[in-house]
Copies of this chain bind each other. A is one copy, B any other.
Amino acid sequence: MAVKIVTILGSTGSVGTQTLDILAENLDRYHVRALVGGRNIALLAEQARLFRPELTVVAEESLLEDLRAALAGSNLACASGRAAVIEAAAMPVDWTMSAITGVIGLEPTLAAVRHGGTIAFANKEALVSAGDVFLRAVSEHGATLLPVDSEHNAVMQAMADNNLHAVEKIVLTASGGPFRKLSYEEMRAITPEAALRHPVWSMGAKISIDSATMMNKGLEVIEAARLFSLTSEQIEVVVHPQSVIHGLAYYTDGSVLAQLGAPDMRIPIAHSLAWPQRLATKAPRLNLAEVAKLEFFPPDEECFPALRVAREALLAGAGAPTVLNAANEVAVAAFLARKIGFLDIVSIVESVLTQLGAPPVLDLAAVLALDNAARDAATRLTAAKAA
């Protein structure tokens, strides 16, 4: 197996660190060309010293001196700021992990797409927000998108027999989040601390809150529609608290293929890293007799309106998913900052969608402009709630 040259966008986040954990066990097979990290300079420097990339970048402009200091004596090149992030992403590699959360990851991911390699895709916001613009770039540059989201990675694995035209529908499973058993009224008092405690998955803050509102599943329905060219009706969501079956593909002959596994992100990351081959990992192995019971429920769309709102945005098309995603990013941040309540998150998203509708977004500039407009609208609504 030839050595694969890789870049990690978002190396200090949850997916980024788990990606590097796998790479650390396979140093003979992978070479890291660039690392792009967040605010955790100590961790980013430690990663750089271990993997010795050609370029280490911190997104935050003001942290360059800290990074330089942390890399003192290592003889490693570093840079900071938005332009440097995009420059790092644009360095040709075989494989890029796109794991910068939120629309902020869109431009770096597009820079990676333009060199036509394989993009392991953990940034669903970019695909939801930029939709057609993003997929057009992927197709123009001959890049390969591999989903890292456990559900989409599962569906991709369930489609490995290459009979895509024979797929009737797919199912994305949802753990149901920490508040599966609460009534709508009981959700009013949910705190950020409670919402961050996901019962099954260990994840970043944004996605943990999205799981708690089930907006995460809504974004995933839109992501799946893009990735697999399916309609909203072909993408079912089933609540499955044990999170053992991650995704399923239903075929016209009655067969259903599924990917299962322990809820450990190293599994889909390793799949996307080695694809189309496989890599050994130390991830825990599924023991069915120990799990003993797998349960499935229809999602409760009254308690979790996010799923309905996201499907409406998908059906509206054009810029509606851009608006949905931007408003949600603002609302989640406001909830984490204790400016709004838990139930306000989705109600703000729905209000912004009503305000802005589904204007056309034909290029990246239009996407970013609409994203900004939605953020402004969401920020105003947030301030009104907080007042």
Contact = CB atoms under 8 A, between A and B. Distances in A.
Contacts of A291: 296
A75 interface: no
Interface string A158-173: 1011110010100100
Interface string A264-279: 1011101100101111
Given A160-B161, A289-B296, A253 B267 contact: yes
Contact of A254 (B256, B262, B276, B298): B262
Interface stretch (A1-9, A244-252, A301-309): A244-252
A146 to B, nearest CB: 13
Interface residues of A, number: 53
B280 A252 contact: yes
Contact of A250 (B168, B276, B286): B286
A77 interface: no
Contacts of A274: 253
Given A160-B161, A161-B276, A260 B256 contact: yes
A193 interface: no
A171 to B, nearest CB: 7
Copy count, this protein chain: 2
A376 to B, nearest CB: 40
A293 B296 CA distance: 6
Contacts of A161: 157, 160-161, 276
A253 B280 contact: yes
Contacts of A316: none
A267 B256 CA distance: 10
Nearest to A293: B295
A255 interface: yes
Interface in A193-228: none
* CB-CB nearest 10 A-B residue pairs: A254-B283, A160-B161, A166-B278, A252-B280, A254-B267, A288-B296, A253-B270, A256-B260, A294-B294, A163-B278
